[in-house]
Amino acid sequence: MNKVLAAAALAANLFVVTLVPCRATTHRSGADAAVRAGADVFRDHCAVCHSVMPNKKIVGPSMYGEVSGPNPRKTDTQLRDIVLKGIGRMPDFKDTLSSQNLDDLLAYLHTVSGASSQ
Ligand code: HEC
């Protein structure tokens, strides 16, 4: 019985240990492309109303630190939701942006915070 538990614990550890570096490396090469694509999405669809500078309001609030950094105001899920449905005077993008666009956009937005390492 103990052996089974130990094996399970070991398997769980191995899972975590192999998963983490794997994510880090596979993420990296694709990440740059996603960030670049996301920057384009932002420029084309968001930048007219949102800056990525701290506290710089255009029409809507700055996206600086919106989903990353020490005090993110929104989770990724909340941001997707807002972009898909719109909020207040912000239009919805459900017919404009694909889920790939949204993934890229989030990758980009994760780089616009003081604490970002990307
Ligand atoms: C036409 C102007 C406009 C465009 C384009 C626009 N937004 Fe907005 N956005 C707003 C306004 C105005 C608000 C504030 C809404 C309110 O609370 O009334 C807002 C709010 C938000 C919020 C919530 C901010 C918070 O913390 O409360 C997020 C997130 C957001 N926008 C992301 C985006 C993204 C990403 C895009 C591009 C896909 C985008 N917006 C495009 C005007 C715009």
In the chain, domain spans: 33-109
Residues 6+ apart with CB under 8 A from 30: none
Q: Which two tokens stand for residue 26?
A: 């596979």
Cβ 60 under 6 angstroms from ligand 1 = yes
pLDDT of residue 115: 59
Between the CA of 60 and the centroid of ligand 1 the distance, in Å, is 5
Enclosing H/E stretch for 77: helix 76-85
Between the CA of 26 and the centroid of ligand 1 the distance, in Å, is 31
DSSP 8-state secondary structure symbol assigned to residue 57: B
The per-residue pLDDT for range 6-59, each reduced to its tens digit, is 665 555 554 544 444 444 445 566 889 999 999 999 999 999 999 999 999 999
Cβ 88 under 6 angstroms from ligand 1 = yes
Query: Taking the model in full, what pTM does it have?
Result: 0.80
Domain 33-109 bears CATH identifier 1.10.760.10 = yes
pLDDT of residue 113: 86
Query: CA angle, corner 53, sides to 50 and 59, nearest 5?
Result: 25
Cβ 66 under 6 angstroms from ligand 1 = yes
Cβ 58 under 6 angstroms from ligand 1 = no
